Amino acid sequence: MLNPDLEHKLIIGTRIDATTYEDACDRIQTWATNQTSCYIVAANVHVVMTGYWQRNYQKIINNAALVTPDGMPLVWAMRLLGVKRQSRVYGPDLMLAWCDRAAKYGIPIFLYGGTEAMLAKLQNNLERRFPRLTIAGSYAPPFRPLTPEEEALDRERIQATGAKVVFVGLGCPKQEEWMSRQQGKLKAVMVGIGAAFSFHSGEVAQAPRWMMRLGWEWLYRLAREPKRLWRRYLINNPTFSILFGLQLLDRWIGIRSHRQQI
């Protein structure tokens, strides 16, 4: 963790930072300029619950340089825990915000993940939207687990391009585990952005913004990909609500007990 002074909250044991798009981009720019090897996680309920079930994964999240509240349930949770003005810092939008910043300051990026076809569409769309953006390279690794030798070759491939920021689209928990293994070995800022490659390549449609604001994005995605996502949303979401409710209750009891002692 590079930001001991940054306000954060633990939500069911997972650290979520009180940040904004501008703050996140400022930090990425500083780290990229200094060639700091670190990683950023855009956390949603799926990430938090995966961390709850898999404590080693939770440690990976909590050791990130920055953990943004990617989903509206985490934004609401942060507000209930005292960060009253917390707003959403959504992975796909953070990617666009950073591409805009990178284009202005000439900071090269690398795209890692997805498929070759997806990366071609993604690169084309990003270059049209940000004409001055330098995409130093891209690579779609095999979907199977990589050997240590293959990971080393991928690091060399990325490093050779001179990219300062690497967007990683391997999905949860694979992308966070990959970034954690590269920390200290790859001199770049790694940003895990989940489905952003699918969205910005045009291969998968995003939920309407009004649904996002209401926290109904999960319903839109479930309707489009029920076989793949039913377990994530129909089990994780209710369990998250129960566990966070218990966390709030425990906090309220603790505050009340402290006041009574005073």
- Token pair in block for residue 92: 């796909």
The pLDDT assigned to 241 comes to 95
Q: Is the peptide bond before 173 cis (omega within 30 degrees of 0)?
A: yes
The pLDDT assigned to 183 comes to 97
- Token pair in block for residue 151: 């990971």
Q: Judge if 43 and 82 occupy the same domain.
A: yes
CA 157 distance to own-chain centroid: 23
- Token pair in block for residue 134: 């330098």
Q: Judge if 83 and 159 occupy the same domain.
A: yes
- Token pair in block for residue 4: 């001991």
3 in a structural domain: no
Q: Judge if 243 and 150 occupy the same domain.
A: no
pLDDT lower than 70: segments of the chain: 1-4, 256-262
Q: How far is CA 248 from CA 47, 58, 71, 77, in A?
A: 19, 20, 18, 9
In whole angstroms, give the CA distance from residue 251 to residue 261.
15
The pLDDT assigned to 134 comes to 98
Closest CA to 217 of 113, 127, 99, 88: 88
Q: Give the strand pairing for 8-11 and 14-17.
A: antiparallel
Residue-range definition of the domain harbouring residue 247: 219-261
In whole angstroms, give the CA distance from residue 68 to residue 24.
8
The pLDDT assigned to 222 comes to 85
Q: Judge if 108 and 53 occupy the same domain.
A: yes
What is the tens place of the pLDDT at every residue in 184-221?
999 999 999 988 999 999 898 888 888 888 888 888 88
205 in a structural domain: yes
The pLDDT assigned to 5 comes to 73
pTM listed for this prediction:
0.92
250 in a structural domain: yes
Final residue before a domain boundary, out of 172, 188, 210: 210
The pLDDT assigned to 80 comes to 96
In whole angstroms, give the CA distance from residue 188 to residue 118.
23
What is the tens place of the pLDDT at every residue in 40-65?
999 999 999 999 999 999 999 999 99
Q: Judge if 84 and 157 occupy the same domain.
A: yes
Q: Give the strand pairing for 66-69 and 38-43.
A: parallel
The pLDDT assigned to 8 comes to 96
Give the bridge partners for 135, in sequence order: 109
Q: Judge if 204 and 228 occupy the same domain.
A: no
Instruction: Please name the helix (run of DSSP H) or strand (run of DSSP E) that holds residue 84, with its range, or none.
Output: none
Give the bridge partners for 191, in sequence order: 40, 167
Counted domains in the chain: 2
Q: Judge if 149 and 224 occupy the same domain.
A: no
Give the bridge partners for 42, in sequence order: 68
Mapping DSSP to helix (H, G, I), strand (E, B) and coil, where does residue 202 land?
coil
Mapping DSSP to helix (H, G, I), strand (E, B) and coil, where does residue 68 land?
strand
Task: Label residue 191 exposed, middle or buried (CB < 10 Å: 0-12, 13-18, 19+).
Answer: buried
